[in-house]
Amino acid sequence: MTSPAEDVVSARPRPRRGVSLRNAGPGLALAAAVVLFSLLSPQFRTTANLANVLDAAAVLAVVTCGVTFVLLMGSIDLSATGVIAASAIAVALLVENNRNDSDLGYVGILLAVLLGAGLGGLSGLLLVALKVPSFMTTLGVSAIGLGVATLMFNGVQPNISDAALEAWATDRFLGLTLLTWIAAACVLAGWSIQRWTRLGRYAYAIGGAEEVLALSGVRVAPYKVAVFTLAGAFYGLGGVMVTSQLGAGLVQAGSGYTFSSITAAVVGGTLLTGGRGGVLHSAVGVLLIVVLTNGLVQVGVSPYWQGGVQGLIVVVAVAAAALPLRHRNQVVK
């Protein structure tokens, strides 16, 4: 016999057999963008540019893995910018650098990721303790992360000289940087957590029917904190990856990643209201955003238009996701 909680999770709407247009839409859009830009620019379709696209998507893919779990619960996480900044400065000061005598290597990397997880956990604790909208608590934690990063920065940029961390951005395997392979491993790990663990299943259930899950006897609050902690760990790793790319720790390391990660997740098919989507959906969204950015540059569109294009894509994606839900609600009424 199954427990009431497992019955709630298994009662979530299952995808229909076959591939619906709604689920296939992001993938079809990605394929269309690749074909279009390949026709418009011979440079776009080169192997070197394909590698550049995948390398450029690496950090965003890791950060988007984290934000996806939060979105599945129906929450919003705006803390990525601050968490990435704090982890970026922390790892730069913990590995071999020009500011101090630290040389902790991978231990320093682990500590920076744990710092990100701690800040993420703080977001979750504030959410369940204060019972206020998640965007408020996570925005506050982002400010805390930026403050911590600024204090650690202390007016002097820490440049890293750790060979192992630098190799993440410079060494290649099968034509791709190690950062890209780390991102691929994170997407696989995120999908595995989502698919095979109670945390992933309950994240879906919280987004779909939190009250029913709670009535079935599940203590929802610890799972919310755990999801935000997991998201913070992904952000922390993203901060380490940015530091590897830049060769230094910067307070601005996380600039833009909050909006871009939410954009990628939504474009990929993860609902802002929770309960639908997932890590693989968001990974497609990441590739679509990066392909559009790269393709627009290749065909000569000004970079100043790219933010506007991303914003338009978000509006279209949210509208496309909202229309079926609105139609369903009208039918029920």
Give 41-86 pLDDT, tens digit per residue: 888 888 899 999 999 999 999 999 999 999 999 899 999 999 999 9
pLDDT confidence of residue 58: 95
pLDDT-based confidence at 332, cuts 50/70/90?
A: very low
pLDDT band at 326 (very low <50, low <70, confident <90, very high): low
CB 174 within 8 A of CB 55: no
β partners of residue 173: 176
Choose between 11 and 128: higher pLDDT.
128
Given this model, what pLDDT does residue 20 score?
52
Please report, in angstroms and rounded to a whole number, the separation of the first and last CA atoms in the chain: 35
Instruction: Walk me through the domains of the chain, giving residue ranges and CATH numbers.
Output: 47-295 (1.10.3470)
Whether 151 and 87 have beta carbons less than 8 Å apart is answered as no
Compute the residue count for the chain: 333
Residue 128 has pLDDT above 50, yes or no: yes
């190690």: which residue's tokens? 178
Rounded to whole angstroms, the Cα distance separating 226 from 69 reads: 10
pLDDT tens figures, 262-275 = 989 988 888 887 77
Say what the pLDDT of residue 76 is. 92
Q: What letter represents residue 324's amino acid? A: P
- Rounded percentage of the chain residues whose pLDDT exceeds 90: 52
Q: Is the Cβ–Cβ distance between 236 and 125 less than 8 Å?
A: no
Taking only the tens place, the pLDDT of each residue in 260-319 is 899 899 888 888 877 788 999 999 999 998 988 888 888 877 777 766 776 776 676 666
159 in helix, strand or coil? strand
